[in-house]
Amino acid sequence: MADNFRIFVDHAVGHGRIEVVGEDAAPVAAAVWFPRTVPLPEPHDYDRRLVAACGEWTERFRVLDTLFEKHHPAEPHHHLAFLAVHPSRQNEGLGSTLLRHHHAELGPDVPAYLEASSARSRALYARHGYQSRDPFHLPDGTPFWPMWRPAGSPV
């Protein structure tokens, strides 16, 4: 799965933002954002890289991509693709630090969007002004909750 994340991290270098907490060589938390205020190209050589990264699980990741795109809002916004904190550093507020930093830079006119994958992550995002929408489900029943943070929400 790390190789799949690498595709989007590489894409964010040219078309998004990567924000980290910790040393560059050893970050302990990271957020990957894409500005969906302009058209966003697909990652370079995506199909080939997806197969190389996911192997026998490729079709499952394609289904995930399709579902995420189907439920993605059309309105201009910033999309939080990934927020990760090293397990040894969780519950220290590092994810909140990354969220507050990016929200402060959005300004009053840009909303934000993400897909939450658990009740715990939904609670974190709700504390930062995200409003949960109806969940969608993977074929195996795994839920994801689209969450929207309106423009002008307090930081």
Establish if 154 belongs to a structural domain: no
Establish if 95 belongs to a structural domain: yes
Tell me: the pLDDT tens digits for 19-68?
999 876 789 999 999 999 999 999 999 999 999 999 999 999 999 999 99
Establish if 82 belongs to a structural domain: yes
Establish if 69 belongs to a structural domain: yes
Establish if 88 belongs to a structural domain: yes
- pLDDT surpasses 90 at 130: yes
Q: How remote is the C-alpha of 89 from its chain's centroid?
A: 19
Q: What integer pLDDT is reported at residue 155 of this predicted model?
A: 82
Pick from 35, 44, 38: which is nearest to 8 by CA? 44
Q: Domain total for the chain?
A: 1
Establish if 155 belongs to a structural domain: no
Q: What integer pLDDT is reported at residue 150 of this predicted model?
A: 97
Q: Letter for the amino acid at 125?
A: Y
- pLDDT surpasses 90 at 107: no
Q: What mean pLDDT is reported for the chain?
A: 94
- pLDDT surpasses 90 at 5: no
Establish if 93 belongs to a structural domain: yes
Pick from 19, 62, 10: which is nearest to 41 by CA? 10
Q: What integer pLDDT is reported at residue 85 of this predicted model?
A: 95
Q: Which domain holds residue 93?
A: 2-149
CATH of the domain at 46: 3.40.630.30
Establish if 100 belongs to a structural domain: yes
Q: What integer pLDDT is reported at residue 18 of this predicted model?
A: 95
How far apart are alpha carbons 106 and 53 in whole angstroms?
32
Read off the pLDDT of each residue in 138-153 and give the average, rounded to a whole number.
95
